[in-house]
Structure 1
Amino acid sequence: MSVKTAVYRHVVTEGTHYEVGRALGACFSQNRELIDFLTSPFMGAAPLKPEAAERAMEQFEQYCPGLNQEIRGFADETGVPAENIVFYYSYVQPAGYCSQAAVSTGTGSGSRTYHMRTYDFGWEDAPYNQLLLSTTRVKGKPAHTGFALQLFGRYDGMNEEGLCITTTSGRIRPALSETGFVFPGVARAVLDSCATALEAASLLRSMPISDFRNFLISDRHGCMALVETAGSSKDIEYLGAATADSHKLAVSANHYTLSAMQPHNLQIMPNSLARARLMQHSLSQVTDPQEIIAVMKQLTGNSFPQGISCHHYSEGLGTLWSMICDNAARELHVCFGSPQLNPWRTFGCSNPPGISEYYAKLPDEPSCPDFWRD
């Protein structure tokens, strides 16, 4: 087994969208490798034509207003053309594997919601893998904390309204051919503009999405929504708050579960089914709400198949981070790297502006022979 030490960063910015962009530019202006990455065609794609960039900006302004100003601020601070920034490339993104689940218990003022996820991918070096937790406080919008993709998009996150969104790939490495948002723009739009799972579900229903992705959303009131997308095909399951004598549970791995999405399950990895079943079984057995976080940490801390943590980094499926959101407390519990070797840390949305660094160990192990079997 080989062990790599990875550097994770937590960046905190605040102000208007434009000021946040300039602050990001000031933080990373000396990182020429990152600047070159952010302003180059993504993964060998053709340069974005001016009319295509304009259409992308128009759609961002419609569904995530202000984000264009954030990108403009970054561009002005670093001296690069805003229309060249790779975040506007909407068709090719890192897939990742991931597992996610949300549980709500109790009613009224006593309701609690807990939302967990692991993000699993390979250990590609920066700038492709930025390992950046971002807290953003934009004037007039809910502050939020989540892992950033290409600085401006989000893999996941929680906002100060107690709303959490996480994602998993619905199909591994699909061919994206439709016009629409991919998950980083979707997650960022939700965190910036929604306070409840119902609002987020309504936003996703209206958004053009090109991604093959599962979005799990929860709020502090105990409501949840599972949104499964395969290009322009999408289905939404909305779960209201738990009742006094039961709790609500939603789980998602790397396949589709809603009935309308079954034709898009062209291939399902057995490990995806196993992870979903394990989360369903483990979390459905919890009767004491006080034990939910402990069970979630146990799930993320144990290696597959006893848990959902994976250490196959060189094969493209290793746990890069885990997170558990306590929606009512507005607390985000984060473990950088594998929970087996690294501590859990707690974040909110009120840290002072600046950058902090954290070091985490990633232990690489080979998978078993049947792990990738179709």
Structure 2
Amino acid sequence: MRETKQYLKNFVGTNYEIGQKIGEWVKSDSKLIKQVLLPPDSYPKDKYQKIKTLLEEFCPGINDEIKGFSDTLTIEPHQVLFYAMTYLERGCSLMALLPSKTEDGHTLLARNYDFSDEMEEMCFAYTDIKGKYNYIGSTLNLFGRSDGMNECGLSVCKASNGLPVGNFEGGQKAGVTGFSFWIVVRSILENCKNIEEAIELVMQMPIAYNLSLMLADKSGKIAIMQCIDGHKEYKIADENIEEGFLSCTNHALLEKIKPYEKILIENSVIRNNHIIQTFSNEQIISENKIKELLSTPYPDGLCCHYYKDFFGTLRGAIFNTTKESVQVAFGAPDVNKWHTFKVEPLKERSIKVSLLDKKAPREFYRTI
């Protein structure tokens, strides 16, 4: 067992002011500063201008945020790794339940997020940008988001479809040009108040990452959207669907997307089957039942400890859109406690997170 830190931060003000605050935080952490910067003049200027223009269209203000960050660190904005990681050129488990399926009649969205703590800043933040919806959620590459809930109760979580796509060693090359997922999630949280607006935005965005999004809002609706190589499909569910829930892990489920799938990993099928069986076997599902599912180690549940293999659970979360609250376990839920948050300023601090390193069994990445 080893320990790492989870940071709780508040980012309030104009985009530029928030960028300055992020810069002051990064300056104080020598390990973090090495993770987020590129050498001078290493990123092509033509690509830098393209991603700046594209970001301003779909996530306006973020360039000002990065400018505030770079001014604070006295570097050029194009040295910020976020630009190179976000503009792509050619493990997680998600579930959402309708009010009719939950114990208290609330709409719930839940997830386990699996990756490596060495490639994340481990920050959960409240963000209040002037002119945008306020929201809480997990940051990624400082300026992106991987999940969250905004002041309207709209919640969104993400999972990869197949192997992760990205400009990093071992990453799958993008099939089209466009955004990585962390801009998609952030843009939804800042600009959309319900599922319909989120779907409309996502269908317009150029997305190079192969992803699944699970969404829920205060109206009692839930939705899934999947994208592979720029091909997109979505499904919005309300009280008319008999099952009462949607689920997704790391493979294509929607019919129009399945033909574009390149790889199907067995553990993804096993994890999704666990969700389906758990929710189908009981007429009503409680939040404690969801926690049990998120906390049970694989192969009997969804929790994983394979951090060195980039498949360790960094957080489990349950978003209650009716109560507008989020329960989060930082690190694997079977060895870390749950915390409850609202969409409001956080008590800034760091939380000790226990990580139990295990070696993934050889058959874990077996393909079907």
TM-score, normalisation: structure 1: 0.89
Q: Unaligned regions of 5+ residues in structure 1, if any?
A: none
Alignment of 1:85-164 (within 5 A): 85-90=80-85, 97-106=91-100, 112-124=106-118, 128-164=119-155
What is the letter of the counterpart of residue 158 of structure 1?
M
Cα distance per residue 1:271-294 (max 9 Å; x no partner): 100111111221234433xx4311
Partner of 1:308: 302
1:252 Cα shift?
A: 0.8
The 3 A distance-change label for structure 1 pair 177 and 217 is same
Indicate whether 1:166 and 2:152 are aligned: no
Distance 1:274 1:118 in 2: 15
**Matched position secondary structure for 1:295:** helix
Partner of 2:18: 20
Report if aligned partners of 1:112, 1:221 keep a CA contact under 8 Å in 2.
no
Partner of 2:356: 363
Partner of 2:311: 317
Report if aligned partners of 1:98, 1:253 keep a CA contact under 8 Å in 2.
yes
Distance 1:92 1:170 in 2: 18
Partner of 2:271: 275
Report if aligned partners of 1:333, 1:347 keep a CA contact under 8 Å in 2.
yes
**Matched position secondary structure for 1:200:** helix
**Matched position secondary structure for 1:211:** coil
Cα distance per residue 1:325-368 (max 9 Å; x no partner): 0111111100011111110001122125x731001111122334
The 3 A distance-change label for structure 1 pair 159 and 286 is farther
2:245 is aligned, of 249, 257, 262, to 249
Cα distance per residue 1:18-76 (max 9 Å; x no partner): 221112222222224433432217xxxx9322221111111111111111111111122
The 3 A distance-change label for structure 1 pair 10 and 223 is same
What is the letter of the counterpart of residue 118 of structure 1?
N
Identity %: 27
Structure 1 range deviating more: 279-288 or 259-268: 279-288
Distance 2:246 2:315 in 1: 20
Distance 1:365 1:50 in 2: 42
Partner of 1:266: 262
Cα distance per residue 1:155-212 (max 9 Å; x no partner): 1111111111111110214221421011011111001101111111110100001111
Root-mean-square deviation over aligned CA pairs: 2.1
1:141 Cα shift?
A: 1.4
Report if aligned partners of 2:115, 2:313 keep a CA contact under 8 Å in 1.
yes
Distance 1:7 1:90 in 2: 24
Partner of 2:47: 52
Distance 1:224 1:363 in 2: 33
Partner of 2:194: 196
**Matched position secondary structure for 2:207:** coil
What is the letter of the counterpart of residue 43 of structure 2?
L
Cα distance per residue 1:74-131 (max 9 Å; x no partner): 12222121222111114689xxx11110111149xx962101111112342xxx3211
**Matched position secondary structure for 2:256:** helix
Distance 1:260 1:331 in 2: 34
The 3 A distance-change label for structure 1 pair 80 and 209 is same
What is the letter of the counterpart of residue 180 of structure 1?
G
The 3 A distance-change label for structure 1 pair 27 and 90 is closer
TM-score, normalisation: structure 2: 0.90
What is the letter of the counterpart of residue 200 of structure 2?
S
The 3 A distance-change label for structure 1 pair 19 and 164 is same
1:83 is aligned, of 65, 78, 85, to 78
Distance 2:153 2:4 in 1: 29
Structure 1 range deviating more: 202-211 or 292-301: 292-301
Q: Unaligned regions of 5+ residues in structure 2, if any?
A: 165-171
Indicate whether 1:69 and 2:67 are aligned: no
Distance 1:148 1:91 in 2: 14
**Matched position secondary structure for 1:168:** strand
What is the letter of the counterpart of residue 196 of structure 1?
N
Report if aligned partners of 1:92, 1:176 keep a CA contact under 8 Å in 2.
no
